[in-house]
Amino acid sequence: MIRFEGVTKRYGDADSGSADGGSRAGGGGDQGAVAVDNLTLEAPTGQITVLVGPSGCGKTTTLRMVNRMITPTSGTISVNGRDTASMDVAELRRGMGYVIQHAGLFPHRTVVDNVMTVPRLLGVDKRQARARAMELIERVGLDPAMARRYPAQLSGGQQQRVGVARALAADPPVMLMDEPFSAVDPVVREQLQNEFLRLQSELGKTILFVTHDIDEAVKLGDQVAVLRVGGVLAQLAPPATLLADPVDDFVAGFVGRDRGYRALSFAAAPELSLTDEPTVRLGATAEQVRAVGSPWVLAVGDAGEPVGWVRAAAVDHEVTRDLLHRGGTVASTSGSLRALLDAALSSPSGRGVVAGDDGRLVGTITAAEVVPAIEARRTATTAGEVPEGASTR
Amino acid sequence: MSPATIWAWFTDPAQWSGADGIPNRLAEHLAYTAITLVIGLLIAIPLGAWVGHTGRLRWLVTGANAMRAVPSLGLLFAVSMFVGPLIQSDLAFVIPSIVVLVLLAVPPLLSGIYAGIESVDPAARDAARGMGMTGWQVLTRVELPCALPLSLSGLRSATLQVIATATIAASVSLGGLGRYLIDGLASRDYVQMVCGSILVAVLALVADLLLAALERYAVSPGISGRSVGVARSRSSRTGEASRPDPVEAPRSISTASPTT
Ligand SMILES: Nc1ncnc2c1ncn2[C@@H]1O[C@H](COP(=O)(O)OP(=O)(O)OP(=O)(O)O)[C@@H](O)[C@H]1O
Ligand SMILES: [Mg+2]
């Protein structure tokens, strides 16, 4: 658990800047500008706490005060009950993984040597550290053949993964991550986010994660802290609450559009009665398709998994993959209301495809049938407390 | 004076033995150069590393560079006059020569090391500190290895300058290849002067080639960029693209429940 108690950082103090780095990082800047203002916050053990807010609101400053790269002007920060100010700086830092923006890899060392750095600092022997590093390189989704490359030979996304692997190498219980996925395109970013969540579900680290992207915050956070410029905590809440119930105009504006729809991500799909859908197999003949008697017919693969809708009139000989309509999404019975509604809205037949956890077709549902479930949830919410965030990951 | 006379000078067996033979002069010249560079490095490495690492007293580097403007010969006589009376023996000439050469060597060495450390990616330095390296570890494991290419450029230019300028030691009655220039001038033996210059130039060239080889060997390929271009274009194909990705399956309809 990381705990901030009344933490303030004012730049331009006598002791501004870094704790031990000499004058390079410190000095200059606005005289007495408050970057973090009386912050009290708890990042619970084993969970992801996301710090989000507009540029310059003090996210990086907050993060770097935890490993004392920046010294707070006042207040205390404790990690698992120990006041960080009383700890040896090197020991404190070696006990937490730190991923900085743009990875900050060592250009003169190969990927595997980069990842081995902290274990080697801690005195782990070379072979053991190397074995561990190779394992992590694979774990973050890199080809082991890349281990012998140098950072300059990697793409931005690959470098970010190495940065994450390097921070994980000593298996620290606490991770500090400063916009680790910011330097990559949206597709790679989503991929990294998904891998990150998968890793976290295995590792259960205590993570403080900084981003300026509210969608990333909502997707990754077990709880989200929204900061406003001047370093004031505007709201600390689970993502579902943030979307459903922003405390003020600033948070509402920052959280952005489509809040109602996005909030459905956190509502588990209830037990709904699904309609049985007549299907055809891939490779079915035109007669079999027309025999169903519907303008859009759902095709399934060999394992009974839905593969796509096919327009009956378009089938001349048999159902092939290239005849399939690609627009529809598939909801899962264990998914969210949002996925359910989206399946219905994106389906060309208007009937949303629902599959079980094994991927096999369970049935279909229309938007008109989903909406009452949403309404019912609203009644439950206003009557009682905020809905628990159902995992849609 | 023709190539033939120069050739005759070099092939004369008398040039290859004795105290004023080429091997001995060459050895003396190399000794002055080596002593100078060792002392210069002993001064420049700690100083440059400290200024680069802490970012303090940067004017030292600028100041040292300004010293390059002082004429070496004038300085040599001034120092000799000052040191001469204090010491008997040959050292009275050796010390001033070395002092002058060191003053010449330090500025390029110092700026090379300083500029090398200054140019280290701040993110890498930040990451190093953030993972719990001490200041000394940051310096020795990250800053200095990354500073190596620029430091070695500094060493190369210092070496060239020292080899060329070590000839002035002869003007205070010491040895080295400068003897051929000074003695040649005194006796109007221009062939000898030209041949001495050729020797200095060849020595400088060989030293530079050796240092270039050292650079290839010592600098991490991750920094020097050797073969990086080729490997990089390979990486974009074999690396990310071909790896089957379980998360980003492109078949939209079978991707269950998109998040966010
Ligand atoms: N070394 C410094 N000296 C003076 N002021 C600083 C220093 N570092 C940051 N600041 C100021 O403190 C405020 C918060 O900076 P910080 O880097 O924490 O913002 P941030 O939320 O991480 O922003 P971004 O999203 O752009 O990274 C900013 O107004 C910034 O100008
Ligand atoms: Mg920042």
Tens digits of per-residue pLDDT, B110-161? 999 999 999 999 999 999 999 999 999 999 999 999 999 999 999 999 999 9
Query: Mean pLDDT throughout A114-142?
Result: 91
Number of structural domains found in chain A:
2
Q: Clarify whether residues A286 and A372 are in a common domain.
A: yes
pLDDT of residue B93: 78
Residues of A in contact with B236 (CB under 8 A): 155
Please judge whether A108 and B222 are an interchain contact, meaning their C-beta atoms are less than 8 angstroms apart: yes
Tens digits of per-residue pLDDT, B202-257? 999 999 999 999 988 888 888 887 654 434 433 333 333 333 333 333 333 333 33
User: What residue ranges do the domains of chain B occupy?
Assistant: 15-255
Q: Clarify whether residues A250 and A307 are in a common domain.
A: no
Q: Could you tell me if B80 and B96 are in contact, meaning their C-beta atoms sit under 8 angstroms apart?
A: yes
Residues of A in contact with B55 (CB under 8 A): 22-24
Q: How far is B249 from chain A (nearest CA, A)?
A: 10
Question: In this structure, is residue A21 part of a structural domain?
Answer: yes
Tens digits of per-residue pLDDT, B231-244? 443 333 333 333 33
Closest residue in chain B to residue A166, using alpha carbons only = B131
Q: Clarify whether residues A331 and A187 are in a common domain.
A: no
pLDDT of residue A227: 93
Q: Does A155 touch chain B (CB under 8 A)?
A: yes
Tens digits of per-residue pLDDT, A308-357? 899 988 888 888 888 888 888 888 888 888 888 989 999 998 899 999 88
Do strands A2-10 and A279-281 pair parallel, antiparallel, or not at all (unpaired)?
unpaired
What's the pLDDT band for A380 if we cut at 50, 70, 90?
Answer: confident
CATH 1.25.50.10 describes domain B15-255:
no
Give the number of residues written for chain B: 260
Q: Does B144 touch chain A (CB under 8 A)?
A: no
pLDDT of residue B253: 38
Measured between alpha carbons, how far is A153 from A162 in angstroms, rounded to an integer? 12
Q: Clarify whether residues A26 and A76 are in a common domain.
A: yes
Q: Could you tell me if A100 and B127 are in contact, meaning their C-beta atoms sit under 8 angstroms apart?
A: yes
Question: Residue A96 is encoded by which pair of tokens?
Answer: 């937490």
Q: Could you tell me if A164 and A100 are in contact, meaning their C-beta atoms sit under 8 angstroms apart?
A: no
Measured between alpha carbons, how far is B127 from A101 in angstroms, rounded to an integer? 10
Measured between alpha carbons, how far is A142 from A151 in angstroms, rounded to an integer? 13
pLDDT of residue A386: 47
Closest ligand 1 atom to residue A27 Cα is: 3
Q: How far is B47 from chain A (nearest CA, A)?
A: 16
Q: Clarify whether residues A368 and A286 are in a common domain.
A: yes
Q: Could you tell me if A334 and A312 are in contact, meaning their C-beta atoms sit under 8 angstroms apart?
A: no
Tens digits of per-residue pLDDT, B3-46? 888 888 878 888 788 778 888 888 888 989 999 999 999 999 99
Q: Clarify whether residues A181 and A224 are in a common domain.
A: yes
Q: Could you tell me if A220 and A50 are in contact, meaning their C-beta atoms sit under 8 angstroms apart?
A: yes
3-state secondary structure of B83: helix
Q: Which residue has the tokens 């040597």?
A: A113
Q: Clarify whether residues A76 and A17 are in a common domain.
A: yes
Question: Residue A310 is encoded by which pair of tokens?
Answer: 């096919």
Do strands A361-366 and A351-355 pair parallel, antiparallel, or not at all (unpaired)?
antiparallel
Write down the pTM of the prediction: 0.76
Question: In this structure, is residue A181 part of a structural domain?
Answer: yes
Please judge whether B123 and A20 are an interchain contact, meaning their C-beta atoms are less than 8 angstroms apart: no
Q: Which ligand is nearest to the CA of A53?
A: 1
Question: Residue B99 is encoded by which pair of tokens?
Answer: 């002092």
pLDDT at A1 over 60: yes
Closest residue in chain A to residue B125, using alpha carbons only = A104
Question: In this structure, is residue A136 part of a structural domain?
Answer: no
Backbone phi and psi for residue A353, each to the nearest 5 degrees, phi listed first: -85, 130
Q: Clarify whether residues A311 and A360 are in a common domain.
A: yes
Q: Does B140 touch chain A (CB under 8 A)?
A: no
Measured between alpha carbons, how far is A69 from A63 in angstroms, rounded to an integer? 9
Domain-terminating residue out of A201, A235, A262: A262
Q: What CATH number is attached to the domain comprising A345?
A: 3.10.580.10
Question: In this structure, is residue A153 part of a structural domain?
Answer: no
Q: What CATH number is attached to the domain comprising A200?
A: 3.40.50.300
Question: In this structure, is residue A150 part of a structural domain?
Answer: no
What is the domain extent for residue A219? 2-95+173-262
The chain-wide mean pLDDT, for chain B, equals 80
Measured between alpha carbons, how far is A381 from A386 in angstroms, rounded to an integer? 6
What's the pLDDT band for A383 if we cut at 50, 70, 90?
Answer: low
* Pocket residues: Cβ below 6 A from ligand 1: A 11, 17, 28-30, 33, 35, 55-61, 212
Beta bridge partners of A354: A331, A363
Tens digits of per-residue pLDDT, A171-214? 899 999 999 888 777 877 888 888 889 889 988 999 999 998 88
Q: Clarify whether residues A208 and A310 are in a common domain.
A: no
Helix (H), strand (E) at residue A52: strand A48-52
The amino acid at residue A191 is Q
Please list, in sequence order, all residues whose beta carbon lies within 8 angstroms of the beta carbon of residue A115, skipping any fewer than 6 positions away: A133, A136, A137, A162, A165, A166, A169
pLDDT of residue B251: 32
The amino acid at residue B118 is E
Nearest CA to ligand 1 atom 5: A29
pLDDT at B97 over 80: yes
Q: How far is A191 from chain B (nearest CA, A)?
A: 6
pLDDT at A114 over 80: yes
Please judge whether A21 and B257 are an interchain contact, meaning their C-beta atoms are less than 8 angstroms apart: no
Measured between alpha carbons, how far is A97 from A263 in angstroms, rounded to an integer? 31
What number is the ipTM of this complex? Answer: 0.75
Q: Could you tell me if A260 and A252 are in contact, meaning their C-beta atoms sit under 8 angstroms apart?
A: no
Query: Which of B157, B55, B204 minimizes the C-alpha distance to A18?
Result: B55
Q: Which residue has the tokens 């550290």?
A: A129
Q: Clarify whether residues A91 and A181 are in a common domain.
A: yes
Question: In this structure, is residue A177 part of a structural domain?
Answer: yes
Query: Which of A113, A107, A145, A141 minimizes the C-alpha distance to B228?
Result: A107
Please judge whether A329 and B231 are an interchain contact, meaning their C-beta atoms are less than 8 angstroms apart: no
Q: Which ligand is nearest to the CA of A73?
A: 1
Q: Does A22 touch chain B (CB under 8 A)?
A: yes
Please list, in sequence order, all residues whose beta carbon lies within 8 angstroms of the beta carbon of residue B241, skipping any fewer than 6 positions away: none
Ligand 2 centroid to Cα of residue A214, in Å, is 14
Q: Clarify whether residues A28 and A84 are in a common domain.
A: yes
DSSP secondary structure code for residue B253 in this structure:
G
Q: How far is B206 from chain A (nearest CA, A)?
A: 28
